[in-house]
Chains A and B, each alone.
Chain A
């Protein structure tokens, strides 16, 4: 069965600093991988997805993520964080031939210092 681990429950970075949010997954084959962002009181918004091909994927709002099969990781990065990036971030994994079901990580809450 698939599983997703986000090791960091809460991260604080200064505005303008770089950001990396970690995501590790467990799945026997090539997974489908997603990052979502959730602002307070809102639903989840898709940041980016990896299905196949180029392992570095670009998303919205200046985010990118890199799929590393050898490390079973799909870390989210942003070179310069803005105060509006403060939110909760979820990594999710889907499996081939299991419909659209996703398994979500526990989430990482990002705070941004002025």
Chain B
């Protein structure tokens, strides 16, 4: 089934360690996004990429980095994890056509616990 694949589905990580969350889409969407979901706060945008080779900061970018080497992949890296980064992380993609705002498609998420 076409869509977004996130890996791993869950992970427990020691504080101070690094971790890369993987995200791959097969819809050839030009834009991709990373969100974190925390109880009572909804989804908050971490980083985004409107096209391969470009990235931008979202609402909560500190402690995270991304790259967009090609259209399909958009990995999220935590260089040195801290407990406040315990969250559920969602990757999404959409097609940007001019100035219009097409719906985003979401992966099933990665549940990350930092101890």
B:16-61 near A, CB below 8 Å: 31, 33, 35, 40-45, 48, 50, 58
* Chain A nearest Cβ from B13, distance in angstroms: 20
With an 8 Å Cβ cutoff, the count of chain B residues facing the other chain is: 29
Q: Does A101 contact B (CB under 8 A)?
A: yes
Cross-chain contact B43 with A104 (CB below 8 angstroms): yes
Cross-chain contact B107 with A43 (CB below 8 angstroms): yes
**Chain A: interface size category:** 20 to 34
* Chain B nearest Cβ from A106, distance in angstroms: 4
Chain B residues with CB below 8 A from A103, complex form: 45
Cross-chain contact A100 with B101 (CB below 8 angstroms): yes
Cross-chain contact B42 with A104 (CB below 8 angstroms): yes
Chain B residues with CB below 8 A from A102, complex form: 45, 101, 104
Chain A residues with CB below 8 A from B101, complex form: 32, 51, 94-96, 98-100, 102
Chain B residues with CB below 8 A from A9, complex form: 40
Task: Tell me, in angstroms, the Cα distance from A42 to B92 when the chains sit together.
Answer: 13
Q: Does A25 contact B (CB under 8 A)?
A: no
Q: Does A70 contact B (CB under 8 A)?
A: no
Chain A residues with CB below 8 A from B74, complex form: none
Interface-centre pick from A41, A101, A106 (highest chain B CB count, 10 A): A101
Task: Tell me, in angstroms, the Cα distance from A106 to B33 when the chains sit together.
Answer: 18
Q: A51-B100, A94-B101 are in contact. Are A100 and B109 (CB under 8 A)?
A: no
Chain A residues with CB below 8 A from B105, complex form: 46
Chain A residues with CB below 8 A from B41, complex form: 106
B:63-79 near A, CB below 8 Å: none
Q: Mind listing 18 A-B residue pairs with CB under 8 Å?
A: A6-B42, A9-B40, A32-B101, A44-B92, A45-B106, A46-B103, A90-B43, A94-B101, A98-B101, A99-B48, A100-B48, A100-B50, A101-B45, A101-B58, A102-B45, A102-B104, A104-B42, A106-B42
